[in-house]
Structure 1
Amino acid sequence: MSKVVMNEASMRRPHLSKVQQIPVSKWLMAILALLLIPLLLWLGVWQLQRADEKQQLLDRWNSARTDLTGLPERESIEPVGVNLHGQFISGIIYLLDNRTRGGRTGYEVIVPFKPDIDATTKHPVVLINLGWIAASEYRDQLPEIRLPLGSQTITGRLAIPSQTIQLRPDKWQASGRVRIQQLDMDRLALRHPGLYPAVIRIDKPLLSGLSVGWPVVNMTPERHLGYAIQWFALAIVLMGGCSWLVWPRKEEI
Protein backbone atom coordinates (compact mmCIF):
# COMPACT_ATOMS: atom_id res chain seq x y z
CA MET A 1 0.00 0.00 0.00
CA SER A 2 2.78 2.45 0.91
CA LYS A 3 4.53 1.60 -2.33
CA VAL A 4 1.50 2.51 -4.35
CA VAL A 5 1.15 5.84 -2.53
CA MET A 6 4.81 6.64 -3.15
CA ASN A 7 4.55 5.87 -6.83
CA GLU A 8 1.44 8.01 -7.18
CA ALA A 9 3.08 10.89 -5.34
CA SER A 10 6.17 10.63 -7.48
CA MET A 11 4.01 10.83 -10.61
CA ARG A 12 2.21 13.94 -9.42
CA ARG A 13 5.18 15.87 -8.05
CA PRO A 14 6.70 16.78 -11.43
CA HIS A 15 3.37 18.08 -12.67
CA LEU A 16 2.87 20.23 -9.60
CA SER A 17 6.34 21.76 -9.74
CA LYS A 18 6.88 21.95 -13.47
CA VAL A 19 6.52 25.46 -14.95
CA GLN A 20 5.10 25.56 -18.46
CA GLN A 21 7.82 26.11 -21.02
CA ILE A 22 7.28 29.05 -23.40
CA PRO A 23 7.61 28.00 -27.05
CA VAL A 24 10.00 29.89 -29.31
CA SER A 25 7.10 30.96 -31.53
CA LYS A 26 5.49 32.78 -28.61
CA TRP A 27 8.74 34.57 -27.84
CA LEU A 28 8.97 35.71 -31.44
CA MET A 29 5.37 36.98 -31.34
CA ALA A 30 6.06 38.85 -28.12
CA ILE A 31 9.23 40.45 -29.51
CA LEU A 32 7.39 41.53 -32.65
CA ALA A 33 4.61 43.06 -30.58
CA LEU A 34 7.14 44.89 -28.38
CA LEU A 35 8.72 46.38 -31.50
CA LEU A 36 5.32 47.58 -32.73
CA ILE A 37 4.27 49.20 -29.46
CA PRO A 38 6.63 52.25 -29.73
CA LEU A 39 5.45 52.82 -33.31
CA LEU A 40 1.80 52.75 -32.24
CA LEU A 41 2.50 55.16 -29.39
CA TRP A 42 4.32 57.51 -31.78
CA LEU A 43 1.38 57.42 -34.18
CA GLY A 44 -0.98 58.29 -31.35
CA VAL A 45 1.15 61.25 -30.26
CA TRP A 46 1.45 62.41 -33.88
CA GLN A 47 -2.33 62.36 -34.29
CA LEU A 48 -2.68 64.44 -31.12
CA GLN A 49 -0.22 66.98 -32.56
CA ARG A 50 -2.16 67.09 -35.83
CA ALA A 51 -5.38 67.66 -33.91
CA ASP A 52 -3.79 70.61 -32.12
CA GLU A 53 -2.51 72.07 -35.41
CA LYS A 54 -5.94 71.78 -37.02
CA GLN A 55 -7.59 73.40 -33.99
CA GLN A 56 -5.15 76.33 -34.15
CA LEU A 57 -5.92 76.73 -37.87
CA LEU A 58 -9.65 76.77 -37.17
CA ASP A 59 -9.14 79.29 -34.37
CA ARG A 60 -7.17 81.59 -36.69
CA TRP A 61 -9.83 81.24 -39.37
CA ASN A 62 -12.67 82.07 -36.98
CA SER A 63 -10.84 85.02 -35.43
CA ALA A 64 -9.57 86.51 -38.70
CA ARG A 65 -10.90 89.85 -39.90
CA THR A 66 -13.61 89.69 -42.55
CA ASP A 67 -13.91 93.37 -43.48
CA LEU A 68 -10.46 94.19 -44.82
CA THR A 69 -10.41 96.55 -47.77
CA GLY A 70 -7.48 95.94 -50.08
CA LEU A 71 -4.82 93.25 -49.80
CA PRO A 72 -2.50 92.71 -46.83
CA GLU A 73 1.24 92.73 -47.30
CA ARG A 74 2.89 89.60 -48.65
CA GLU A 75 4.66 88.95 -45.33
CA SER A 76 1.40 88.87 -43.33
CA ILE A 77 -1.00 86.82 -45.44
CA GLU A 78 -3.71 85.30 -43.26
CA PRO A 79 -7.13 83.78 -44.09
CA VAL A 80 -8.71 87.22 -43.75
CA GLY A 81 -11.83 88.36 -45.52
CA VAL A 82 -11.22 91.03 -48.13
CA ASN A 83 -13.30 93.35 -50.29
CA LEU A 84 -11.93 94.46 -53.65
CA HIS A 85 -13.26 96.62 -56.44
CA GLY A 86 -12.04 96.18 -59.99
CA GLN A 87 -12.65 94.13 -63.11
CA PHE A 88 -11.77 90.73 -64.50
CA ILE A 89 -8.99 90.43 -67.05
CA SER A 90 -10.67 89.10 -70.15
CA GLY A 91 -9.22 86.56 -72.53
CA ILE A 92 -8.05 83.89 -70.09
CA ILE A 93 -9.69 81.55 -67.58
CA TYR A 94 -7.79 78.92 -65.62
CA LEU A 95 -9.57 75.61 -64.95
CA LEU A 96 -7.98 73.86 -61.98
CA ASP A 97 -8.34 70.18 -62.85
CA ASN A 98 -9.32 67.09 -60.82
CA ARG A 99 -11.46 68.80 -58.19
CA THR A 100 -14.24 66.62 -56.79
CA ARG A 101 -17.46 67.48 -54.99
CA GLY A 102 -20.23 65.09 -54.11
CA GLY A 103 -18.40 62.28 -55.85
CA ARG A 104 -18.26 64.19 -59.16
CA THR A 105 -15.11 65.40 -60.93
CA GLY A 106 -14.87 69.00 -62.03
CA TYR A 107 -12.84 72.18 -62.14
CA GLU A 108 -12.31 75.20 -59.95
CA VAL A 109 -12.59 78.34 -62.05
CA ILE A 110 -9.69 80.74 -61.45
CA VAL A 111 -9.71 84.16 -63.13
CA PRO A 112 -7.17 87.03 -62.93
CA PHE A 113 -8.65 90.20 -61.50
CA LYS A 114 -7.35 93.76 -61.78
CA PRO A 115 -8.17 95.76 -58.62
CA ASP A 116 -8.79 99.47 -58.76
CA ILE A 117 -5.53 101.23 -58.00
CA ASP A 118 -5.61 103.17 -54.73
CA ALA A 119 -3.52 103.68 -51.62
CA THR A 120 -4.36 100.22 -50.26
CA THR A 121 -3.86 98.24 -53.47
CA LYS A 122 -0.25 97.69 -54.51
CA HIS A 123 -0.66 94.62 -56.72
CA PRO A 124 -1.98 94.94 -60.26
CA VAL A 125 -3.33 91.37 -60.48
CA VAL A 126 -4.90 88.94 -58.02
CA LEU A 127 -6.44 85.54 -58.77
CA ILE A 128 -10.11 84.98 -57.92
CA ASN A 129 -11.51 81.50 -57.33
CA LEU A 130 -15.09 81.74 -58.59
CA GLY A 131 -16.02 78.23 -57.46
CA TRP A 132 -16.45 74.68 -58.70
CA ILE A 133 -18.13 73.46 -61.88
CA ALA A 134 -18.77 69.87 -62.98
CA ALA A 135 -16.69 68.45 -65.83
CA SER A 136 -18.11 66.97 -69.00
CA GLU A 137 -18.06 63.25 -69.67
CA TYR A 138 -15.69 63.97 -72.53
CA ARG A 139 -12.22 65.15 -71.66
CA ASP A 140 -11.89 67.49 -74.63
CA GLN A 141 -15.06 69.42 -73.77
CA LEU A 142 -14.36 72.29 -71.36
CA PRO A 143 -17.16 74.13 -69.56
CA GLU A 144 -18.39 77.42 -70.94
CA ILE A 145 -17.67 80.34 -68.60
CA ARG A 146 -18.99 83.85 -69.28
CA LEU A 147 -17.39 86.45 -67.05
CA PRO A 148 -19.32 89.57 -66.06
CA LEU A 149 -18.15 92.77 -67.71
CA GLY A 150 -17.40 96.09 -66.11
CA SER A 151 -16.55 96.97 -62.52
CA GLN A 152 -17.15 94.25 -59.93
CA THR A 153 -17.02 94.00 -56.14
CA ILE A 154 -15.28 90.85 -54.91
CA THR A 155 -15.80 89.60 -51.37
CA GLY A 156 -14.03 86.50 -50.11
CA ARG A 157 -11.21 84.96 -48.10
CA LEU A 158 -7.53 84.73 -48.87
CA ALA A 159 -6.00 81.28 -49.34
CA ILE A 160 -2.42 80.30 -50.11
CA PRO A 161 -2.39 77.52 -52.73
CA SER A 162 -0.69 74.28 -51.74
CA GLN A 163 1.87 72.81 -54.11
CA THR A 164 1.77 69.17 -55.19
CA ILE A 165 4.43 67.08 -56.88
CA GLN A 166 4.25 66.87 -60.66
CA LEU A 167 6.41 64.53 -62.70
CA ARG A 168 6.50 67.08 -65.50
CA PRO A 169 4.85 70.48 -65.97
CA ASP A 170 1.63 70.54 -67.95
CA LYS A 171 1.35 72.59 -71.12
CA TRP A 172 -0.59 75.84 -70.85
CA GLN A 173 -2.05 77.56 -73.84
CA ALA A 174 -1.63 81.30 -74.15
CA SER A 175 -5.28 82.34 -73.81
CA GLY A 176 -8.84 81.10 -73.55
CA ARG A 177 -9.82 78.32 -71.16
CA VAL A 178 -6.57 76.89 -69.82
CA ARG A 179 -6.66 73.55 -68.02
CA ILE A 180 -4.03 73.44 -65.25
CA GLN A 181 -3.12 70.75 -62.74
CA GLN A 182 -2.13 73.04 -59.88
CA LEU A 183 -1.87 76.71 -59.01
CA ASP A 184 1.85 77.22 -59.60
CA MET A 185 2.09 80.81 -58.39
CA ASP A 186 5.67 81.30 -59.63
CA ARG A 187 4.69 80.17 -63.09
CA LEU A 188 1.54 82.27 -63.05
CA ALA A 189 3.54 85.32 -61.95
CA LEU A 190 5.52 85.09 -65.19
CA ARG A 191 2.26 85.51 -67.08
CA HIS A 192 0.87 88.16 -64.75
CA PRO A 193 3.65 90.44 -63.46
CA GLY A 194 3.03 91.72 -59.96
CA LEU A 195 0.69 88.80 -59.16
CA TYR A 196 -0.42 88.65 -55.53
CA PRO A 197 0.82 85.36 -53.96
CA ALA A 198 -2.58 84.28 -52.63
CA VAL A 199 -6.00 83.54 -54.11
CA ILE A 200 -9.34 84.99 -53.08
CA ARG A 201 -12.09 82.41 -52.68
CA ILE A 202 -15.38 84.24 -53.05
CA ASP A 203 -18.06 83.86 -50.38
CA LYS A 204 -21.13 83.99 -52.60
CA PRO A 205 -21.63 82.64 -56.15
CA LEU A 206 -20.98 85.25 -58.81
CA LEU A 207 -21.92 83.02 -61.76
CA SER A 208 -24.74 80.52 -62.04
CA GLY A 209 -23.68 76.88 -62.18
CA LEU A 210 -20.67 77.38 -59.91
CA SER A 211 -20.55 76.13 -56.33
CA VAL A 212 -18.59 77.98 -53.65
CA GLY A 213 -17.58 77.03 -50.13
CA TRP A 214 -14.34 75.29 -49.16
CA PRO A 215 -13.52 73.32 -46.01
CA VAL A 216 -11.06 75.08 -43.72
CA VAL A 217 -9.30 71.78 -42.93
CA ASN A 218 -9.41 68.47 -44.72
CA MET A 219 -9.79 66.57 -41.44
CA THR A 220 -11.34 67.84 -38.21
CA PRO A 221 -9.48 67.83 -34.87
CA GLU A 222 -12.08 65.39 -33.52
CA ARG A 223 -11.23 62.88 -36.21
CA HIS A 224 -7.51 63.13 -35.46
CA LEU A 225 -8.34 62.58 -31.79
CA GLY A 226 -10.34 59.47 -32.69
CA TYR A 227 -7.38 58.06 -34.62
CA ALA A 228 -5.08 58.79 -31.67
CA ILE A 229 -7.37 56.83 -29.33
CA GLN A 230 -7.35 53.90 -31.74
CA TRP A 231 -3.54 53.81 -31.90
CA PHE A 232 -3.20 54.02 -28.11
CA ALA A 233 -5.85 51.31 -27.62
CA LEU A 234 -4.03 48.99 -30.03
CA ALA A 235 -0.77 49.57 -28.15
CA ILE A 236 -2.49 48.65 -24.87
CA VAL A 237 -3.91 45.47 -26.42
CA LEU A 238 -0.43 44.46 -27.61
CA MET A 239 1.00 45.12 -24.15
CA GLY A 240 -1.60 42.81 -22.64
CA GLY A 241 -0.94 40.17 -25.29
CA CYS A 242 2.79 40.25 -24.58
CA SER A 243 2.16 39.79 -20.86
CA TRP A 244 -0.13 36.83 -21.51
CA LEU A 245 2.40 35.18 -23.84
CA VAL A 246 5.46 35.35 -21.58
CA TRP A 247 3.84 35.11 -18.14
CA PRO A 248 4.70 31.67 -16.65
CA ARG A 249 1.68 29.45 -16.01
CA LYS A 250 1.48 26.04 -14.29
CA GLU A 251 0.13 23.13 -16.24
CA GLU A 252 -3.22 21.83 -15.24
CA ILE A 253 -3.26 18.28 -13.90
Structure 2
Amino acid sequence: MYRFLLTRQWVIITVVAIALIPTMIWLGFWQLHRHDHRQALNKLISTSLAAEPVPVETLTSVGGSVAHEHLYRRVTAHGHFDTAHELVVRRRTNADDRVGYHVLTPFVLDDGRMLLVNRGWIPSPTSQTAFPDIPAPAEGEITVTGRLMPDETTAESGIKDVKGLPDRQIMLIDSKKVGALLRDSGDTAAQNVLGGYIELISPAPANGSPQLLPSPKGDSSWIGVDDINLPYAIQWWLFAACVPVGWLILARREVRDRRAAEQTTAGKENEPAAV
Protein backbone atom coordinates (compact mmCIF):
# COMPACT_ATOMS: atom_id res chain seq x y z
CA MET A 1 0.00 0.00 0.00
CA TYR A 2 2.90 2.38 0.70
CA ARG A 3 4.76 1.60 -2.52
CA PHE A 4 3.52 4.97 -3.82
CA LEU A 5 6.22 6.55 -1.63
CA LEU A 6 8.74 5.33 -4.22
CA THR A 7 7.09 7.25 -7.03
CA ARG A 8 8.85 10.32 -8.43
CA GLN A 9 6.28 12.73 -6.99
CA TRP A 10 6.54 11.38 -3.47
CA VAL A 11 10.32 11.10 -3.54
CA ILE A 12 10.45 14.82 -4.39
CA ILE A 13 7.95 15.68 -1.63
CA THR A 14 9.93 13.66 0.93
CA VAL A 15 13.30 15.16 -0.09
CA VAL A 16 11.88 18.72 0.12
CA ALA A 17 10.38 17.98 3.54
CA ILE A 18 13.67 16.58 4.84
CA ALA A 19 15.52 19.66 3.55
CA LEU A 20 13.01 22.11 5.03
CA ILE A 21 13.26 20.81 8.60
CA PRO A 22 16.95 21.65 9.30
CA THR A 23 16.64 24.88 7.29
CA MET A 24 13.75 26.10 9.43
CA ILE A 25 15.50 25.03 12.63
CA TRP A 26 18.59 27.01 11.53
CA LEU A 27 16.44 30.06 10.75
CA GLY A 28 14.94 29.83 14.23
CA PHE A 29 18.36 29.83 15.87
CA TRP A 30 19.44 32.72 13.63
CA GLN A 31 16.47 34.77 14.84
CA LEU A 32 17.26 33.76 18.43
CA HIS A 33 20.84 34.94 17.95
CA ARG A 34 19.54 38.30 16.71
CA HIS A 35 17.25 38.48 19.75
CA ASP A 36 20.18 37.82 22.09
CA HIS A 37 22.28 40.42 20.27
CA ARG A 38 19.50 42.98 20.60
CA GLN A 39 19.06 42.23 24.29
CA ALA A 40 22.79 42.61 24.89
CA LEU A 41 22.78 45.92 22.99
CA ASN A 42 19.80 47.19 25.00
CA LYS A 43 21.58 46.30 28.23
CA LEU A 44 24.74 48.06 27.02
CA ILE A 45 22.77 51.19 26.09
CA SER A 46 21.00 51.28 29.46
CA THR A 47 24.30 50.86 31.31
CA SER A 48 26.08 53.50 29.23
CA LEU A 49 23.32 56.09 29.61
CA ALA A 50 23.14 55.54 33.37
CA ALA A 51 26.90 55.88 33.93
CA GLU A 52 28.47 59.15 34.98
CA PRO A 53 30.14 61.11 32.15
CA VAL A 54 33.90 60.72 31.77
CA PRO A 55 36.45 62.74 29.75
CA VAL A 56 36.29 61.69 26.11
CA GLU A 57 40.06 61.23 25.86
CA THR A 58 39.86 58.34 28.36
CA LEU A 59 37.74 56.25 25.97
CA THR A 60 39.21 57.08 22.55
CA SER A 61 42.46 58.23 21.05
CA VAL A 62 43.88 59.92 17.97
CA GLY A 63 43.41 57.60 15.00
CA GLY A 64 41.86 54.99 17.28
CA SER A 65 38.42 53.44 17.41
CA VAL A 66 35.58 53.37 19.91
CA ALA A 67 35.23 50.03 21.67
CA HIS A 68 31.80 48.37 21.52
CA GLU A 69 31.44 48.45 25.31
CA HIS A 70 31.72 52.26 25.21
CA LEU A 71 28.87 52.71 22.74
CA TYR A 72 26.54 55.54 23.83
CA ARG A 73 28.73 56.24 26.88
CA ARG A 74 28.32 59.83 28.03
CA VAL A 75 31.56 61.78 27.76
CA THR A 76 32.71 65.36 28.28
CA ALA A 77 35.21 67.56 26.52
CA HIS A 78 36.50 71.08 27.17
CA GLY A 79 37.53 73.39 24.37
CA HIS A 80 35.91 75.42 21.59
CA PHE A 81 33.94 74.80 18.39
CA ASP A 82 35.62 75.37 15.03
CA THR A 83 32.65 76.42 12.87
CA ALA A 84 34.92 77.55 10.02
CA HIS A 85 35.43 73.89 9.11
CA GLU A 86 31.91 72.67 9.82
CA LEU A 87 30.48 69.88 7.66
CA VAL A 88 27.00 68.49 7.01
CA VAL A 89 26.03 64.82 6.71
CA ARG A 90 23.49 64.20 3.97
CA ARG A 91 20.30 62.10 3.95
CA ARG A 92 19.58 62.08 7.66
CA THR A 93 16.08 62.09 9.17
CA ASN A 94 14.67 63.65 12.32
CA ALA A 95 12.07 62.28 14.73
CA ASP A 96 9.32 63.13 12.21
CA ASP A 97 11.12 61.26 9.39
CA ARG A 98 11.88 64.48 7.56
CA VAL A 99 15.02 64.23 5.45
CA GLY A 100 17.75 66.76 6.12
CA TYR A 101 21.32 67.05 7.32
CA HIS A 102 23.27 66.32 10.47
CA VAL A 103 25.64 69.11 11.47
CA LEU A 104 29.17 67.89 12.17
CA THR A 105 31.28 70.52 13.89
CA PRO A 106 34.95 70.07 14.87
CA PHE A 107 35.60 70.72 18.55
CA VAL A 108 39.19 71.61 19.46
CA LEU A 109 40.22 70.43 22.91
CA ASP A 110 42.49 72.40 25.22
CA ASP A 111 45.47 70.22 24.27
CA GLY A 112 44.93 70.79 20.53
CA ARG A 113 43.32 67.46 19.69
CA MET A 114 40.08 67.52 17.72
CA LEU A 115 36.77 65.84 18.51
CA LEU A 116 33.97 65.55 15.95
CA VAL A 117 30.61 66.64 17.37
CA ASN A 118 27.28 65.83 15.76
CA ARG A 119 25.28 68.88 16.83
CA GLY A 120 21.97 67.56 15.50
CA TRP A 121 19.54 67.79 12.58
CA ILE A 122 18.61 70.64 10.26
CA PRO A 123 16.20 70.59 7.29
CA SER A 124 17.52 70.38 3.76
CA PRO A 125 17.80 73.71 1.93
CA THR A 126 16.16 74.26 -1.44
CA SER A 127 19.48 73.83 -3.19
CA GLN A 128 21.17 70.48 -2.63
CA THR A 129 24.54 71.86 -3.70
CA ALA A 130 24.69 75.04 -1.60
CA PHE A 131 25.99 74.81 1.95
CA PRO A 132 23.05 75.40 4.33
CA ASP A 133 22.75 78.16 6.89
CA ILE A 134 23.53 76.64 10.28
CA PRO A 135 22.85 78.28 13.65
CA ALA A 136 26.11 78.89 15.46
CA PRO A 137 26.97 76.96 18.63
CA ALA A 138 28.05 78.48 21.92
CA GLU A 139 31.17 80.57 21.51
CA GLY A 140 34.39 80.54 23.49
CA GLU A 141 35.74 77.93 25.86
CA ILE A 142 32.96 75.57 26.93
CA THR A 143 32.41 72.03 28.16
CA VAL A 144 30.30 69.79 25.97
CA THR A 145 28.63 66.51 26.92
CA GLY A 146 27.66 63.89 24.40
CA ARG A 147 27.11 60.21 23.64
CA LEU A 148 30.21 58.50 22.29
CA MET A 149 29.72 56.79 18.93
CA PRO A 150 32.00 54.71 16.68
CA ASP A 151 32.88 55.72 13.14
CA GLU A 152 30.10 54.99 10.68
CA THR A 153 30.55 52.40 7.93
CA THR A 154 28.42 51.39 4.96
CA ALA A 155 28.18 47.84 6.30
CA GLU A 156 26.73 48.95 9.64
CA SER A 157 24.58 51.88 8.50
CA GLY A 158 23.54 50.75 5.04
CA ILE A 159 24.45 54.22 3.73
CA LYS A 160 26.56 54.28 0.59
CA ASP A 161 29.61 56.53 0.78
CA VAL A 162 28.87 58.55 -2.36
CA LYS A 163 31.79 60.40 -3.92
CA GLY A 164 31.80 63.75 -5.70
CA LEU A 165 29.55 65.56 -3.22
CA PRO A 166 29.35 69.35 -2.96
CA ASP A 167 31.95 71.10 -0.84
CA ARG A 168 31.78 70.37 2.92
CA GLN A 169 29.14 67.63 2.51
CA ILE A 170 29.68 63.98 3.45
CA MET A 171 27.63 60.78 3.67
CA LEU A 172 29.26 58.99 6.61
CA ILE A 173 30.89 60.19 9.81
CA ASP A 174 34.29 58.54 9.66
CA SER A 175 36.86 60.33 11.80
CA LYS A 176 39.81 59.25 9.67
CA LYS A 177 38.23 60.34 6.39
CA VAL A 178 36.87 63.54 7.90
CA GLY A 179 40.29 64.32 9.34
CA ALA A 180 41.90 63.86 5.94
CA LEU A 181 39.23 66.03 4.35
CA LEU A 182 39.79 68.82 6.87
CA ARG A 183 43.56 68.65 6.47
CA ASP A 184 43.20 68.92 2.71
CA SER A 185 41.10 72.05 3.24
CA GLY A 186 43.94 73.60 5.26
CA ASP A 187 42.68 72.94 8.79
CA THR A 188 45.89 72.52 10.80
CA ALA A 189 43.96 71.52 13.94
CA ALA A 190 42.86 68.33 12.16
CA GLN A 191 46.27 66.72 12.58
CA ASN A 192 45.09 64.92 15.71
CA VAL A 193 41.49 63.78 15.34
CA LEU A 194 40.07 61.49 18.02
CA GLY A 195 38.49 58.28 16.78
CA GLY A 196 34.69 58.18 16.59
CA TYR A 197 32.48 61.16 17.37
CA ILE A 198 29.88 62.28 19.88
CA GLU A 199 26.17 63.10 19.63
CA LEU A 200 25.74 66.37 21.47
CA ILE A 201 23.63 66.40 24.64
CA SER A 202 24.60 69.74 26.13
CA PRO A 203 24.78 72.65 25.89
CA ALA A 204 21.47 72.64 24.03
CA PRO A 205 21.06 75.20 21.22
CA ALA A 206 19.38 78.38 22.39
CA ASN A 207 16.86 78.44 19.54
CA GLY A 208 16.28 74.69 19.26
CA SER A 209 18.28 74.35 16.04
CA PRO A 210 20.02 72.17 15.19
CA GLN A 211 17.61 69.65 16.70
CA LEU A 212 19.48 67.50 19.19
CA LEU A 213 19.41 63.81 18.34
CA PRO A 214 17.10 61.82 20.64
CA SER A 215 18.63 59.53 23.21
CA PRO A 216 18.16 55.81 22.51
CA LYS A 217 15.82 53.97 24.84
CA GLY A 218 17.30 50.97 26.53
CA ASP A 219 15.02 47.99 27.12
CA SER A 220 15.91 45.25 29.60
CA SER A 221 12.64 43.27 29.42
CA TRP A 222 12.79 39.58 28.53
CA ILE A 223 11.28 39.83 25.05
CA GLY A 224 11.94 43.50 24.48
CA VAL A 225 9.62 46.19 23.25
CA ASP A 226 9.09 45.86 19.47
CA ASP A 227 11.40 42.83 19.42
CA ILE A 228 10.14 40.57 16.65
CA ASN A 229 13.13 38.21 16.57
CA LEU A 230 12.09 35.91 19.42
CA PRO A 231 8.54 35.42 18.04
CA TYR A 232 10.07 34.76 14.62
CA ALA A 233 12.40 32.13 16.13
CA ILE A 234 9.46 30.33 17.72
CA GLN A 235 7.52 30.62 14.47
CA TRP A 236 10.30 28.96 12.46
CA TRP A 237 10.56 26.09 14.96
CA LEU A 238 6.79 25.56 14.81
CA PHE A 239 7.05 25.45 11.02
CA ALA A 240 9.79 22.82 11.33
CA ALA A 241 7.56 20.73 13.61
CA CYS A 242 4.65 21.06 11.17
CA VAL A 243 6.61 19.68 8.21
CA PRO A 244 6.68 16.00 9.31
CA VAL A 245 3.11 16.31 10.57
CA GLY A 246 2.01 17.68 7.21
CA TRP A 247 3.94 14.96 5.37
CA LEU A 248 2.24 12.28 7.46
CA ILE A 249 -1.21 13.78 6.85
CA LEU A 250 -0.61 13.83 3.09
CA ALA A 251 0.66 10.25 3.12
CA ARG A 252 -2.35 8.99 5.09
CA ARG A 253 -4.70 10.84 2.76
CA GLU A 254 -2.96 9.23 -0.21
CA VAL A 255 -3.41 5.80 1.38
CA ARG A 256 -7.11 6.50 2.05
CA ASP A 257 -7.70 7.70 -1.52
CA ARG A 258 -5.95 4.68 -2.99
CA ARG A 259 -7.96 2.28 -0.83
CA ALA A 260 -11.18 3.99 -1.84
CA ALA A 261 -10.18 3.74 -5.49
CA GLU A 262 -9.36 0.02 -5.11
CA GLN A 263 -12.70 -0.67 -3.41
CA THR A 264 -14.55 1.13 -6.17
CA THR A 265 -12.71 -0.86 -8.81
CA ALA A 266 -13.34 -4.15 -6.98
CA GLY A 267 -17.03 -3.31 -6.63
CA LYS A 268 -17.37 -2.71 -10.34
CA GLU A 269 -15.64 -6.00 -11.13
CA ASN A 270 -18.06 -7.93 -8.82
CA GLU A 271 -21.19 -6.47 -10.40
CA PRO A 272 -23.24 -9.05 -12.41
CA ALA A 273 -22.96 -8.69 -16.14
CA ALA A 274 -25.91 -7.10 -17.89
CA VAL A 275 -28.23 -9.61 -19.69
Same fold, TM-score > 0.5, yes or no: yes
Cα gap change, 1:26 to 1:138, in 2 (>3 Å): farther
Question: Whole-Å Cα distance in 1 between the matches of residues 250 and 142 of structure 2?
Answer: 72
Aligned to 2:84: 91
Kept after mapping to 1: 8 A contact 2:151/2:173: yes
Aligned to 1:66: 52
Cα gap change, 1:158 to 1:21, in 2 (>3 Å): same
Q: 1:28 is matched with which residue: 1, 9, 12?
A: 12
Q: 2:97 is matched with which residue: 96, 103, 108?
A: 103
Q: Which amino acid letter does the alignment assign opposite residue 203 of structure 1?
A: I
Kindly state the Cα deviation for residue 38 of structure 1 after the two structures are TM-superposed. Answer: 1.7
Question: Does 2:214 match 1:213?
Answer: yes
Question: Whole-Å Cα distance in 2 between the matches of residues 145 and 198 of structure 1?
Answer: 22
Q: Which amino acid letter does the alignment assign opposite residue 195 of structure 1?
A: V
Question: Does 2:222 match 1:222?
Answer: no
Question: Whole-Å Cα distance in 2 between the matches of residues 129 and 225 of structure 1?
Answer: 34
Q: Which amino acid letter does the alignment assign opposite residue 197 of structure 1?
A: G
Question: Does 2:132 match 1:143?
Answer: yes
Q: 2:37 is matched with which residue: 48, 53, 70?
A: 53
Question: Does 2:201 match 1:193?
Answer: no
Cα gap change, 1:45 to 1:142, in 2 (>3 Å): same
Q: Which has the higher contact order (CA 8 A, sep 6+)?
A: 1
Question: Does 2:173 match 1:183?
Answer: yes
Name the SS for the 1:44 alignment partner. Answer: helix
Question: Whole-Å Cα distance in 1 between the matches of residues 130 and 232 of structure 2?
Answer: 41
Aligned to 2:120: 131
Please say which of residues 204-213 and 97-106 is displaced more in the overlay. Answer: 204-213
Kept after mapping to 2: 8 A contact 1:30/1:245: no
Kept after mapping to 2: 8 A contact 1:37/1:235: yes
Cα gap change, 1:237 to 1:100, in 2 (>3 Å): farther
Aligned to 1:235: 240
Kept after mapping to 2: 8 A contact 1:48/1:225: yes
The structure that is helix-richer by fraction is 2
Q: Which amino acid letter does the alignment assign opposite residue 246 of structure 2?
A: G
Query: When the two structures are superposed, what TM-score results if normalisation uses the length of structure 2?
Result: 0.70
Question: Whole-Å Cα distance in 2 between the matches of residues 222 and 53 of structure 1?
Answer: 11
Kept after mapping to 2: 8 A contact 1:41/1:232: yes
Name the SS for the 2:44 alignment partner. Answer: helix
Question: Whole-Å Cα distance in 2 between the matches of residues 240 and 138 of structure 1?
Answer: 61
Kept after mapping to 2: 8 A contact 1:93/1:109: yes
Kindly state the Cα deviation for residue 70 of structure 1 after the two structures are TM-superposed. Answer: 4.0
Question: Whole-Å Cα distance in 2 between the matches of residues 69 and 182 of structure 1?
Answer: 25
Aligned to 1:245: 250
The structure that is strand-richer by fraction is 1
Name the SS for the 1:195 alignment partner. Answer: coil
Aligned to 1:12: none
Instruction: State the percentage of identical aligned residues.
Output: 25
Kindly state the Cα deviation for residue 31 of structure 1 after the two structures are TM-superposed. Answer: 1.8
Q: Which runs of 5+ in 1 are unaligned?
A: 1-17, 118-122
Question: Whole-Å Cα distance in 2 between the matches of residues 242 and 136 of structure 1?
Answer: 60
Cα gap change, 1:203 to 1:90, in 2 (>3 Å): closer
Kindly state the Cα deviation for residue 155 of structure 1 after the two structures are TM-superposed. Answer: 1.1
Kept after mapping to 2: 8 A contact 1:33/1:242: yes
Give RMSD over aligned pairs. 2.9
Q: Which amino acid letter does the alignment assign opposite residue 247 of structure 2?
A: C
Q: Which runs of 5+ in 2 are unaligned?
A: 184-189, 219-223, 264-275
Kindly state the Cα deviation for residue 147 of structure 1 after the two structures are TM-superposed. Answer: 1.8
